[in-house]
Amino acid sequence: MWAGESAENAVLWGEPVGFDQLAAAESGYAGCGPAEQLLWERLSVFEGAFGRDAVREVCASGALPAKDIQAVLDRLAPLALLPVDDLFDGEEGLPRYWMPHPMRAVGARRLTARGDRWVVVLHHRRWCVKLARQAADWWQRGRQLDARDLALRELPDLAAAMDPTTAPLSPSNEADTAVDIAVSLWFLWVACGRIAEGRARLRHALSLHAGPAPARALWLAAFLELESGRPEDADPLLVQAWAAAVRDGDDRCLALLAHLRGSTALYQGRTRAAAAEFRDALALMEEHPEFGPTRRACWVGLALSLCRTEPEAAQEALDQADLDRESRRAWVGRDLFADAWAYHVRAELVAWDGDRGRAAEYARRALREHLRLGSAVGAACAAELLAQMRALDGCHDEAAHLLGAVDLLRTSVFDSSYRPAEYCVVTRARGEAALRALFDDTDLKSAYEEGARRGLFTLAGEG
């Protein structure tokens, strides 16, 4: 019997599948040779699309050796797979496939009946660990859009591997794997706008983790609490992460924690403390950090901490960030996330000099970069800064458009308890003060509502 079946359909992986489709899939399976049937079964563990390298790593073993995988896959593809065109820019044009639900259901049942399911699932999870680490490495080396695109494309499979409750033996057996993947994908959660998802997945994996939590997992848990607007919940996790880093001898994590303490202080408006923490992070961080925020991110955080009180020192920090980047360009490429926040600082600095037109242009660049990466936190902050500059220049309708779009973004991404960082709160207050009668002027209220309808992607392309 199929779970969720009705008179004509079964519900498989959330989708209705007709029994006639299942019968056709069974017939197709029966017409295959032993090698094709075995590969058909093993491919059923993939949640999304897959390429040939993935098939080789997950499915090759025993009666189906790696040297035979390519030929067997070529024979099976026309019978049970659909070609998928989901390559991102710059990726080699290797064939990729997806197994339709009826074929997958037949393969999954046969794989379970053969008694091989858990072995193949474990191979799949090890492949997911490798994949997540590859994406993290790409992020560190400046291939940040590729890293994001890879992680998003493979997220159905990565998500399955981040759920320890589907482990072959017990949840605790695979909790390490789930935590490893979640931590490797830190950039996807923090910089690319998937904060709530990352927080939920990491908390779930840690709740099933049998031993002491790794220092970097606690660091990420604290970071996600902060980005969720809960700095008070981040503080105890920071303390635990520091103790775990000392316990594990993870000196590199100490630099990550200094950066996060700086980010927390900046969020709370304690700019002097933030500047001191970012300086500590730079002192602790190695030349080429293999994980987490970069040295450029620390310099930009320092500049952001200083830009409203010590503009000259903030400019020096930005200059040093540029020098740091030039000396490391051949190794790491660009840090797009840090660059987006650097545009915030440049906007503040030229506004300090009275050039609101250039300040607006820098704020618009920041908005576009954050939207390109997918960061709702950064995009909202940049849009409010742009609204402030446009309001000060008398472009009240444009400013109201931006504020309406920001409010819609925040309410759609975060829950009602979310509190923006103090830096953003001050920016918003200045923008609204420049608008003066936002909630009394009928035209401005209409512009605010129109901005919410049009959205930040449209508004960012204007001007």
Concatenated DSSP letters of 174-195: HHHHHHHHHHHTHHHHHTSS-H
Residues 376-408 have pLDDT tens digits of 999 999 999 999 999 999 899 999 999 999 999
- Run of H or E including 97: strand 96-98
DSSP state of 86: -
Helix, strand or coil, per DSSP, at residue 18: strand
Q: Are 338 and 142 in contact (CB under 8 A)?
A: no
Phi/psi of residue 201, nearest 5 degrees: -70, -40
Q: Are 101 and 15 in contact (CB under 8 A)?
A: yes
| Contacts of residue 404, Cβ cutoff 8 Å, sequence gap at least 6 | 447, 448, 449, 450, 451, 452, 453
Looking at residue 427, what is its pLDDT?
92
- Run of H or E including 201: helix 195-207
Q: Are 265 and 236 in contact (CB under 8 A)?
A: no
| Contacts of residue 414, Cβ cutoff 8 Å, sequence gap at least 6 | 196, 228, 229, 376
Rg of the Cα trace of the chain? 25
Helix orientation angle between 34-43 and 52-59, rounded to the nearest 10 degrees? 100
State which residues of the chain have pLDDT below 50: 1-4, 7, 330-331
Looking at residue 8, what is its pLDDT?
62
Helix, strand or coil, per DSSP, at residue 12: strand
Euclidean distance between CA atoms 395 and 63, whole angstroms: 70
Looking at residue 17, what is its pLDDT?
77
Residue 141 vs residues 23, 136, 295, 301, 346: alpha-carbon distances, Å? 48, 9, 13, 20, 25
Looking at residue 198, what is its pLDDT?
98
Looking at residue 93, what is its pLDDT?
66
Q: Are 283 and 251 in contact (CB under 8 A)?
A: no
Euclidean distance between CA atoms 344 and 461, whole angstroms: 17
DSSP state of 442: H
Among the residues of 12-95, which ranges form H helices? 19-30, 34-43, 52-59, 66-80
Amino acid letter, 33? G
Euclidean distance between CA atoms 163 and 152, whole angstroms: 17
| 227: alpha, beta or left? (left if phi > 0; alpha if psi -120 to 50) | alpha
Euclidean distance between CA atoms 200 and 291, whole angstroms: 21
Looking at residue 330, what is its pLDDT?
45
Amino acid letter, 117? R
Looking at residue 325, what is its pLDDT?
61
